[in-house]
């Protein structure tokens, strides 16, 4: 573990939350809801907020999206204590760099360590979804669990694959990892602050998951786990579509000897037709709402109303929502925007 510096968090470690956007598009109301909840949870528990830009996917990340996201967050009043700040985006904080593309050496160090412990193997299966590994898997992205085809390839078979020009991705041998940790179960338990107790089988969450793509790009699961540990993150608040990533990340954190953070997985925001908000909902992007003359307080107040902090969608600054905020009240809540959301936001008054 020589080059792998991971200060393990402990229950007494200072509370630290994070905003971890992927700069693959602009923020829409659904992303803003998740970031507001992460911010409120951090502020309510006296945690510092870290902003980490998750730009490891070379095909989908754009610097202009990173800039736009930070602008949108700041405009909404969702602030952060560490990370890129101000006009020049200079980094504040002692856990940087806060941009994943500047942290590759850390990801490589963990891979090296896991390799030395015999916990990863090359996989030559070509699957279309391998392309997506550098992005967090949202609903519909994951495909079937890995079948284990390449787990026990002989050295000769591997050499043949390499000689034929096949490039391998690297997978974690989850069974070997559990054994190395002295764990006999194949499920990972944790308490979710919204959903309650969770027990998810690693097989059900993709089996032996990839840590590096065959083109050398690091996988989201690896980068996030290394960074959460190294940045001393003690609380993770994010959308429910990332629930199946949590057992994988906890396993990696255990392998690093780090204390895993607490988790809260939030219900997702839907449009009036019941569709989950996504990149195609351009009209519901924060930048579009801003251009339409809507005030940030109207958006925050509406999101606070969605979260149950307010009985009515009335305008508010983020800190005004703190007294009524409780993650647990989000359990089972259906978050659906009305058809006339623009009118509601336009007519929202400061009360
Ligand atoms: N960067 C990821 C995304 O925007 C979220 C990662 C996380 O919260 O773990 O989907």
pLDDT digits (tens, 9 = 90+) for 228-277: 999 999 999 999 999 999 999 999 999 999 999 999 999 999 999 999 99
**pTM score, whole prediction:** 0.94
C-alpha 267/C-alpha 225 separation (Å) is 22
Ligand 1, residue 18: give the atom nearest the CA.
8
242 lines ligand 1 (CB under 6 A): yes
Q: Is 103 in the pocket of ligand 1 (CB under 6 A)?
A: no
Q: How many angstroms is it from 247 CA to the middle of ligand 1? A: 15
Distance from residue 237's CA to the centre of ligand 1 (Å): 10
Closest CA to 268 of 337, 322, 201, 325: 337
Check: CB of residue 92 under 8 Å from CB of residue 83. yes
DSSP for 266-277, please give it.
EPPEE-TTSPBP
Averaged pLDDT score across all residues of the chain: 92
Q: How far is CA 247 from the centre of its chain?
A: 13
Nearest residue (by CA) to ligand 1, atom 5, is: 20
CA of 275 to the centre of ligand 1 (A): 20
* Residue of the CA atom closest to atom 6 of ligand 1: 20
182-227 pLDDT, tens digit each: 998 899 999 999 999 999 999 988 899 999 999 999 999 999 999 9
Percent composition of the chain: helix, strand, coil (DSSP 3-state, to 5): 40, 15, 45
- Which residues touch 250 (CB under 8 Å, ≥6 apart)? 188, 190, 260
pLDDT in tens, 9-20: 566 789 999 999
Our CA angle for 108, 153, 136, nearest 5°, is: 40
Provide the terminal-to-terminal Cα distance of the chain, rounded to the nearest Å. 56
């Amino acid at each position: 573990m020589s080059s792998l510096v991971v200060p393990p968090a402990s229950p007494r470690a200072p509370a630290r939350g994070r905003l971890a956007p992927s700069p693959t598009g602009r923020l829409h109301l659904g992303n803003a809801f998740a970031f507001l909840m992460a911010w409120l949870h951090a502020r309510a528990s006296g945690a510092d907020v870290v902003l980490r830009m998750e730009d490891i996917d070379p095909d989908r990340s754009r610097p202009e999206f990173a800039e736009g996201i930070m602008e949108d967050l700041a405009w909404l009043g969702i602030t952060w204590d560490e990370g890129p700040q101000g006009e020049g985006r200079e980094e504040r904080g002692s856990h940087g760099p806060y941009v994943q593309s500047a942290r590759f050496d850390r990801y490589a160090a963990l891979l090296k360590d896991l390799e030395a412990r015999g916990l990863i193997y090359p996989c030559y299966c070509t699957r279309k979804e391998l392309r997506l590994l550098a992005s967090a898997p949202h609903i519909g992205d994951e495909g079937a669990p890995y079948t284990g085809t390449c787990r026990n390839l002989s050295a000769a078979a591997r050499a043949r694959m390499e000689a034929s020009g096949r490039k391998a991705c690297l997978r974690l041998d989850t069974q070997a990892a559990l054994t190395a940790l002295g764990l006999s179960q194949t499920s990972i338990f944790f308490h979710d602050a919204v959903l309650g107790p969770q027990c998810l089988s690693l097989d059900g969450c993709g089996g032996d998951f990839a840590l590096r793509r065959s083109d050398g790009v690091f996988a989201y699961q690896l980068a996030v786990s290394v960074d959460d540990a190294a940045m001393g993150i003690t609380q993770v608040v994010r959308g429910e579509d990332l629930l199946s990533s949590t057992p994988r990340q906890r396993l990696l954190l255990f392998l690093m000897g780090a204390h895993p953070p607490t988790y809260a997985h939030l219900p997702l925001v839907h449009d009036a037709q019941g569709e989950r908000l996504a990149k195609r909902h351009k009209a519901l992007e924060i930048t579009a709402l801003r251009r339409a003359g809507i005030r940030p307080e109207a958006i925050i107040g509406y999101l606070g109303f969605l979260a149950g902090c307010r009985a009515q969608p009335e305008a508010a600054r983020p800190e005004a929502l703190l007294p009524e905020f409780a993650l647990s009240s989000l359990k089972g809540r259906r978050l659906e925007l009305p058809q006339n959301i623009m009118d509601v936001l336009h007519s929202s008054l400061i009360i």
